[in-house]
Structure 1
């Protein structure tokens, strides 16, 4: 079987996976629903920037809610050109996914047919690519840009031309713009250029180019009264939480990212085997330039970034590691005599990662979309029917802002900078602080808010809010909580909100449990 035939079959498999997932979601929702509310955060911000020139989760104020400024900006351009369509991220991700497969094909075709087949299939199935496309998030673009950065760096080391460096610098800017974790790897590229290649100017220049999106976006955010970094990085990042908290979160990352750790074991074996015959440390390092950069970049991600949440945070790591170990695996596979154990281990490790990443997602991907449909889409529809231009207190904010024009008080802090400032030292613990409760109390009362729809475990509401009812979803996998509580902010609106919930409950999915408090 020719490699182009294998490529066609893998593309066919990808298409079928996307088709069947859309069919599964459409069967209960009537349309495709993204498996993460975060996708609607990107859409909401992109819509507001395209239509109202406001970089924010609502059209009324700036908010540094996105953790991928370049992806949100790209969606805003597409919305401006083609109009506000909720499936623009799906189409854009599909195009990026096809580019990723094509780049992978061109890279892997230099190897044996066995290596080509195993690794091209692994890139699609272990990521897994269809899931990252269907999330409507930035991860396909980030993975594509990171692969291009590695290939550009490899090419620059081989030829060291000015054009090669300019290409590397440009792609580094894009990679950082899509996700700041790209800097983990680019930093070690700079270290390699500085200490191993003695190219001091190129090292510093590459670092400055890569930092450009961070510096520009940080300056804009500060100018609007926000943090230098996006709110999500401040509220979720593994920093400033003491040594014990740092180690605990890193251990949690290791547990959630066990699938990537398995691949990294192959990477470590590759580094030791390739360095074994070299006496000088400089030669050991230069022989393993790409594998060492990937290992060090992975280590920084393990320490400071996140894993999990629909296995998306580490998806790019899977592909990057696969690119790094492909040449080594090919040399192992092509040896007619040699270490049979090593050949077997590579295959077994890839199969284990397949079982850890792909197989659970066959069920969980559809379940996640079901959760979002049952909860976030229902909340958005409720607001659209009764409060589409009102002032709302909430703490999961994607769909409800995308489908409506509400004024928002986000008690989590992603969409409200004053809340983020109060919560920045909690590190995801949802501490019930007096300052936060007072801020919700004062803001809701002074600005005349109408209704609150919150996970009560994320933040306690003021005593003068009247609890009217709850909705509860079953088999919660992806939402921040299974129960959302409705409050009337003004006592005189209690009966009105209660009757609205009763009326709306008639059109909600049958397996959503609604409880009206009388």
Structure 2
């Protein structure tokens, strides 16, 4: 079979990504002694919700509705993987397969920039572009986070390439339509690019497809909102409301507070490298587009939508551990700039795109390095919490980091952070929880003990709680190095002491358990 030079580049790039991911998984499992765990606790929230979806519920507890998932669609996809028997590997599969598609599409989009030149410099730039591209999209770290981000990048690329095809042919294709509909269903940030694409279609006189797609997207989102309202939950997931200051402020409806929150977010983010890169990319697209002249007509729909989406990410997006949130915007920028740089000479275009790839890759380099030790951190802390809660002391508990501790756990888990408990989220929205509020919540839930980060509770814990033990691990990706274990039901102290003693003998060498006497 004869492959074109572009196809060879795409095949090579996709294979490098696949081998890189396999190496990371094996390296992480070396750290954990052969146990597969993700580099963060968050995918286990999706797994916990997914297993309850299969039981007819929605949330981390079988008998309590909550919306801790950051995605509308992803927990249902994870549930499908559980139903197929993939188990814990379901999120990994949902990262690797879309990740391969992402690398295939991105490499195909940027290849023309490198194809137009020859010589030793060209060969060096082509070779460098492969690892830089994979790092620029953070695809060296995202698969082991087990979250929905590679799927979001894939849907984003369908919109980008669909807009390019629309610019060339004037037709609104299936790829563009699917991307517009799926992107917000995978991540709410997807509304930015989907909305920008719809505005572009309207501006270019394609009213019928724009209105039809807009109506379909509205219907999908309305269905989700109505379902949440039926379950007594807010329109936005608790993870979005709890972790995004802009979203929570907007949900409150105070316009002045919304503007203040957006401004504060912008000032903070412009000091971060990923957002500076996106701002520069938006400026480069805006500067390059007029220089393209007639040739820019085909690129204009994508370029205009790209500028809107990149600025929306800078204004309203957020940063978090493992650089998970800006990568869809990086994909938009790379596709757009690869097209816009055609205005320059062949060598200049390749060099300029490399200089865009390099800082993007640099901003994600540390996440690649930290992925195996982060998986070990999850194993040393949250995985051990899971074992204690399910194997050694299976009772109702209070937590404020709820992924692994709620996954495959038949006992009730009260989340006082607010992701898995709507009552706790509402209380936290009014201000830091007071000890008496925590006590009331735990008594209502019938909680017997707690495994929490106490530094998240600025006002402390109820005086009646007995600090039975502390588990300490070196911190890499965990929220804190110390998990405090409190006994809430004094009658269970003999059972807890026996459980702690047995549990201590099974801990990995880097995890320490210190017991304390109850008064």
Whether TM exceeds 0.5 here: the answer is: yes
TM-score between both structures, scaled by the size of structure 2: 0.87
Task: Show CA shifts across 1:128-149 (max 9, x none).
Answer: 2232122211111110011001
Residue aligned with 1:74, SS: helix
Per the TM alignment, residue 259 of structure 1 is displaced from its structure 2 partner at its CA by 3.0
Report the Cα distance in structure 2 between the residues aligned to 1:417 and 1:203, rounded to whole angstroms.
36
Residue 367 of structure 1 corresponds to 373
The answer as to 2:379 corresponding to 1:392 is no
The answer as to 2:262 corresponding to 1:251 is no
TM-score between both structures, scaled by the size of structure 1: 0.87
Residue aligned with 2:344, SS: helix
The one of 46, 68, 80 equivalent to 1:65 is 68
Question: Which residues of 2 match residues 276-355 of structure 1 at below 5 A?
Answer: 276=291, 288-334=300-346, 344-355=351-362
Residue 154 of structure 1 corresponds to 164
Residue 498 of structure 1 corresponds to 497
Runs of at least 5 residues in structure 2 that lack an aligned partner in the other structure: 116-121, 250-256
Give yes or no for contact 1:6–1:117 (8 Å, CA) kept in 2. Answer: no
Per the TM alignment, residue 492 of structure 1 is displaced from its structure 2 partner at its CA by 2.7
Residue aligned with 1:87, SS: helix
The one of 431, 439, 449 equivalent to 1:441 is 439
Residue aligned with 1:486, SS: strand
Per the TM alignment, residue 73 of structure 1 is displaced from its structure 2 partner at its CA by 0.7
Structure 1 residues 197 and 242: CA distance shift in structure 2, 3 A: closer
Per the TM alignment, residue 485 of structure 1 is displaced from its structure 2 partner at its CA by 0.7
Per the TM alignment, residue 112 of structure 1 is displaced from its structure 2 partner at its CA by 4.3
Report the Cα distance in structure 1 between the residues aligned to 2:79 and 2:450, rounded to whole angstroms.
29
Give yes or no for contact 2:392–2:503 (8 Å, CA) kept in 1. Answer: no
Question: Which residues of 2 match residues 17-166 of structure 1 at below 5 A?
Answer: 17-29=20-32, 30-50=34-54, 52-80=55-83, 82-83=84-85, 85-113=87-115, 121-161=131-171, 164-165=172-173
The answer as to 2:223 corresponding to 1:220 is no
Residue 17 of structure 2 corresponds to 14
Residue aligned with 1:255, SS: coil
Runs of at least 5 residues in structure 1 that lack an aligned partner in the other structure: 426-430
Report the Cα distance in structure 1 between the residues aligned to 2:299 and 2:101, rounded to whole angstroms.
29
Report the Cα distance in structure 1 between the residues aligned to 2:471 and 2:387, rounded to whole angstroms.
14
Per the TM alignment, residue 15 of structure 1 is displaced from its structure 2 partner at its CA by 2.9
Report the Cα distance in structure 2 between the residues aligned to 1:43 and 1:232, rounded to whole angstroms.
15
Question: Which residues of 2 match residues 400-419 of structure 1 at below 5 A?
Answer: 400-419=405-424
Residue 377 of structure 1 corresponds to 383
Residue 462 of structure 1 corresponds to 462
Residue aligned with 1:364, SS: helix
Count, aligned residues: 494
Per the TM alignment, residue 276 of structure 1 is displaced from its structure 2 partner at its CA by 4.8
Question: Which residues of 2 match residues 467-482 of structure 1 at below 5 A?
Answer: 467-474=467-474, 476-482=475-481
Structure 1 residues 17 and 286: CA distance shift in structure 2, 3 A: closer
Give yes or no for contact 2:148–2:186 (8 Å, CA) kept in 1. Answer: yes
Report the Cα distance in structure 1 between the residues aligned to 2:299 and 2:31, rounded to whole angstroms.
53
Per the TM alignment, residue 447 of structure 1 is displaced from its structure 2 partner at its CA by 3.9
The answer as to 2:183 corresponding to 1:175 is yes
Report the Cα distance in structure 2 between the residues aligned to 1:368 and 1:211, rounded to whole angstroms.
39
Per the TM alignment, residue 246 of structure 1 is displaced from its structure 2 partner at its CA by 3.5
